[in-house]
Structure 1
Amino acid sequence: MQVSVETTSNIERRMTIGVPAQEIDQAVQKRLQETARTVRLNGFRPGKVPVSVVKRRFGDSIRQEVVGEVMRDSYIKALQEQDINPAGWPKFEPKVMEEGKDLEFIATFEVLPEIELGDLSAISIEKPVSEVTDKDIDTMIDNLRRQQATMKEVKRKCKNKDVVTIDFKGFIDGEAFEGGSAEGHRLTLGSGQMIPGFEKGIVGAKAGEEIEIEVTFPEDYHNEELAGKPAKFQITVHKVEEPQLPELDADFFQRFGIDAEDEAAFREEVKKNMERELKQAVSNKVKNDVIDGLLDVTELEVPAALVDQEIDRLRQDAAQRFGGQVDFQQLPKEIFEDQAKRRVKTGLLFQEVVKKNDLKADPAKVEEKIQEIASTYEQPEEVVAHFNNNPDQKSQIEAAVLEDAVVECVLAQAKVKEKKMKYEDAVKAGQPQR
């Protein structure tokens, strides 16, 4: 077997492989003989069909089948000989495949890029600094109570946190616009569900009243045709409802899986959950900044095969969120392409940081993370045992710890600026990027 490799780009290779005709002919002959023993043809007893007859009837298809297998096997053998690690399956292009001649074909494939990390000291990281205050806990408990509230219709003027049932119709320059009207719409005042000024304009109205408000669509509104434009809305208020908040008692605590004797104990559990959420949010924010920084300072070309694989994973995840009612192949690849490229680049860059700095997943930190996860369950010892007895599950924790090590490694060299934030803002800052 003759092999030559041409570098056509940083990540593409063009491998020309030659296989002696004798090797192909022997493989074809062997397959013809095997077929003769198993094929059934009219006029011949099973196993007694002459090879010449089989060759006449099936020779072309058998040869094509054998050549395909030889190309695959020869390609794999050539990769091993050349010590090449491909990033995906190749595209085969036969050049010579006539009977009696040496087989020659070209395999074009991608390899992982050679990465030269950029200047990590040029990366800027903004790390949120926050804490959970008593006011934050009050707000959280109020939100939890409102989630469980019952509604009572009232005849007074509506105020923030009331739920109103309305009809509305919007106009720009005197013309109704698409998507600007609804009937029987339930709206919690002060929720920020509608554009600025809309909910505030309803406050003070009673059931049965018709009002008109003037608002302006935000400059960054998702519909560019409406962005920045003034509008008028004609609104009819049909009903005003006031939320009836549940008492802070044992029954309410149990609805959220908290076994607390009194409000003080409940507040303490809520605080612990909020602190965990805050810690995770800060970690997410810093990690996203690290990823952005690595991408900014490092030139990186990614193999299309890896991007395609990641796109398929994202499509499958999206299909599952539809409850399995959508075939993931029906989802357009294009809408996942940017996210897939970012994920692939991130994976390659993290691997390079690991390799360059000889990073390992610290067993103590793996155990610490398992304990942290287990602490959120009623029987933490069972969760710990589950991870320790399931290598695949534990390897996921080890991978997460290794990613944390990469982040810490970059932070040690980057410019890190701490920024004080309110709890709510810090949590928002840590929302994962898509």
Structure 2
Amino acid sequence: MSATIEQLEHLERKIVVTLKWDDINAEFDKRLKKVAKKAKIDGFRPGHAPVKMVASMYGASIQNDVLNDMAQEAFNNEIIEQKIRIADVLRLEPVEGAAENNDIFQAAFIFEVLPEVKLVDLSGLNIEKSVANVGEEEVDKTIEILRKQRTRYNRVEREAQNGDRVIIDFEGKIDGEVFEGGTSQNYPFVLGEGQMLPEFEAGVIGLKEGESKDVEVNFPEDYHGQDVAGKTAVFNITVKNVAAAELPEVDEQFARALGISDGDINKMREEVKKNVGREVKRRVDAQNVEAVMTALREAHEFDLPNSLVNEEAGRLAEEMKQNFVQQGLDAQDMQLPIDMFKERAAERVKVGLILPVLVEENKLQPTEEQVKKIINEFAESYEDPQEVIDWYFADRQRLQGPMNLALEANVVDFVLSKAKVTEKTLSFDDVMAAT
């Protein structure tokens, strides 16, 4: 067996493997005899049918397997011998004139190779590093959020105002005609939270239980409902209930509701601060990871294997479909255009090619202690931390996630230690608003 390699466009290569028919026929005869020993053919005991009859029934399939296996073996040997880093085999092509040669069989493998990645000088990178602090003010804000999550609404007989929950019936018309989605009964929402269009909410404010009013509403040109976007509707609104918000007091009962068994408010604040600190760190770390990956991606230039980009784009499309399904949408048969994911896929593939080189050249593989530290941090938020720790170490595969996080942290720390870094202090609101 022999092979030749040819460079095509970009990262595509072609290897033509050449096999001798004598070798092919020898392997064919060997496999045919094995099949004949087990073949079940009507009129003959298993393994006693004439070889010629077995060949007439199974010969084409056996020869096809032999050609595929021997050609693949020749291809693999060439890849190993030349130390080619292959991305993916794209296709097989016929070799012009090969069928005219009775002595040899030829097959052309078209494939993509991985690009050579040469790391840039990291000291030339400019990266903005996010930082955030968690103090008493942030604890107060979080406690206020927790209070709002436990809001109770009590019926009142006064006029509706911002902060009240109202229950209404409404019917909307455009040019005197009721339109789809413009009618509802017993619809609840909280005034002032932007759940409805501003003109709609303004029309409800000031109404008491049992009162009605016609309200004119202009739908924005970019409104998500295309049928009504840019149009004016008149809603007849009837208020059926007005309820004022009542937030719980920050007392022992509130502390117990948050899991502090003895109701100690100071302990509650400490626990809130710890939890908020953990969440803020997670979000800030995520922003810094993105900043580092973006800097690495933009600093390096090399061709990307189309096969890997297409594969990643397909994976992103499938992720979006699954997200739709989890949201209750019927998306299993949805065909999402792969092209809409290619830009993001290319970014991921590029980073995925840079990181192994960066890790290998700078010995950034995580240590066992780093992995243990991450698992311990995971476990802190659970009632029985040791149970969580034991669960991770009970199965080597479960450690892959913490190992990846430790590796990612090593990369981020290393790049930030080399690059030109400016710090950006984020407010608590900015951090929590980040997705």
| Aligned partners of 2:289 and 2:412 also within 8 Å | yes
May I ask how many residue pairs the two structures share in their alignment? 427
Provide closer, same or farther for how the CA distance between residues 138 and 255 of structure 1 changes in structure 2, counting only shifts above 3 A: same
Shift of 1:425: 0.8
Shift of 1:213: 5.3
| CA distance in structure 1 between the partners assigned to 2:319 and 2:431 by the alignment | 27
Q: Percent same amino acid among aligned pairs?
A: 32
Shift of 1:105: 0.6
User: Are residue 271 (structure 1) and residue 267 (structure 2) matched?
Assistant: no
CA offset digits 1:107-130 (Å, max 9, x no partner): 111222112345645544333343
Partner-residue secondary structure (3-state), 2:237:
strand
Match of 1:76 in 2: 76
| CA distance in structure 1 between the partners assigned to 2:261 and 2:361 by the alignment | 48
Alignment of 1:242-321 (within 5 A): 242-246=244-248, 248=250, 253=255, 256-259=258-261, 261-315=263-317, 317-318=319-320, 321=323
TM-score (ref. length: structure 2):
0.83
| CA distance in structure 1 between the partners assigned to 2:309 and 2:332 by the alignment | 16
| CA distance in structure 1 between the partners assigned to 2:30 and 2:190 by the alignment | 77
| CA distance in structure 1 between the partners assigned to 2:256 and 2:173 by the alignment | 48
Shift of 1:18: 0.8
Match of 2:212 in 1: 209
Q: Name which of 369, 378, 397 aligns with 1:392.
A: 397
CA offset digits 1:74-122 (Å, max 9, x no partner): 2222222221222234422243468954121111112221123456455
CA offset digits 1:246-290 (Å, max 9, x no partner): 455666556555545233322221121111111111111111122
Shift of 1:167: 5.0
Match of 1:47 in 2: 47
| Aligned partners of 2:217 and 2:235 also within 8 Å | no
Gaps in structure 1 of 5+ consecutive residues: none
Partner-residue secondary structure (3-state), 1:376:
coil
Match of 1:339 in 2: 344
User: Are residue 411 (structure 1) and residue 416 (structure 2) matched?
Assistant: yes
Partner-residue secondary structure (3-state), 1:88:
strand
Alignment of 1:50-65 (within 5 A): 50-65=50-65
Gaps in structure 2 of 5+ consecutive residues: none
Partner-residue secondary structure (3-state), 1:46:
coil
Match of 2:353 in 1: 348
Shift of 1:169: 6.6
Shift of 1:242: 2.8
Provide closer, same or farther for how the CA distance between residues 200 and 27 of structure 1 changes in structure 2, counting only shifts above 3 A: farther
| Aligned partners of 1:87 and 1:306 also within 8 Å | yes
User: Are residue 36 (structure 1) and residue 41 (structure 2) matched?
Assistant: no
| CA distance in structure 2 between the partners assigned to 1:427 and 1:343 by the alignment | 25
| CA distance in structure 1 between the partners assigned to 2:163 and 2:354 by the alignment | 47
User: Are residue 131 (structure 1) and residue 136 (structure 2) matched?
Assistant: no
User: Are residue 163 (structure 1) and residue 165 (structure 2) matched?
Assistant: yes
Shift of 1:218: 8.4
Provide closer, same or farther for how the CA distance between residues 213 and 328 of structure 1 changes in structure 2, counting only shifts above 3 A: closer
Partner-residue secondary structure (3-state), 2:5:
strand
| CA distance in structure 2 between the partners assigned to 1:179 and 1:420 by the alignment | 47
Per mean C-alpha deviation after superposition, the further-off stretch among 335-344 and 45-54 is 335-344
| CA distance in structure 1 between the partners assigned to 2:192 and 2:427 by the alignment | 20
Q: Name which of 359, 362, 366 aligns with 1:357.
A: 362
Amino acid at match of 1:375: E
Q: Name which of 126, 142, 145 aligns with 1:140.
A: 142
| CA distance in structure 1 between the partners assigned to 2:247 and 2:113 by the alignment | 60
CA offset digits 1:161-195 (Å, max 9, x no partner): 322234557789x6989877342343222323345
Shift of 1:32: 1.9
Per mean C-alpha deviation after superposition, the further-off stretch among 343-352 and 132-141 is 132-141
Amino acid at match of 1:359: L
| CA distance in structure 2 between the partners assigned to 1:378 and 1:197 by the alignment | 48
Shift of 1:16: 1.1
RMSD between superposed Cα atoms in Å: 3.6
| CA distance in structure 2 between the partners assigned to 1:404 and 1:269 by the alignment | 26
Provide closer, same or farther for how the CA distance between residues 346 and 257 of structure 1 changes in structure 2, counting only shifts above 3 A: farther
Provide closer, same or farther for how the CA distance between residues 99 and 338 of structure 1 changes in structure 2, counting only shifts above 3 A: same
Per mean C-alpha deviation after superposition, the further-off stretch among 15-24 and 123-132 is 123-132
| Aligned partners of 1:260 and 1:266 also within 8 Å | no
Match of 1:21 in 2: 21
Amino acid at match of 1:355: E
| CA distance in structure 2 between the partners assigned to 1:340 and 1:79 by the alignment | 27
Match of 2:380 in 1: 375
Shift of 1:21: 1.0
Shift of 1:2: 1.0
Amino acid at match of 1:352: V
Match of 2:118 in 1: 116
Per mean C-alpha deviation after superposition, the further-off stretch among 249-258 and 77-86 is 249-258
Match of 1:152 in 2: 154
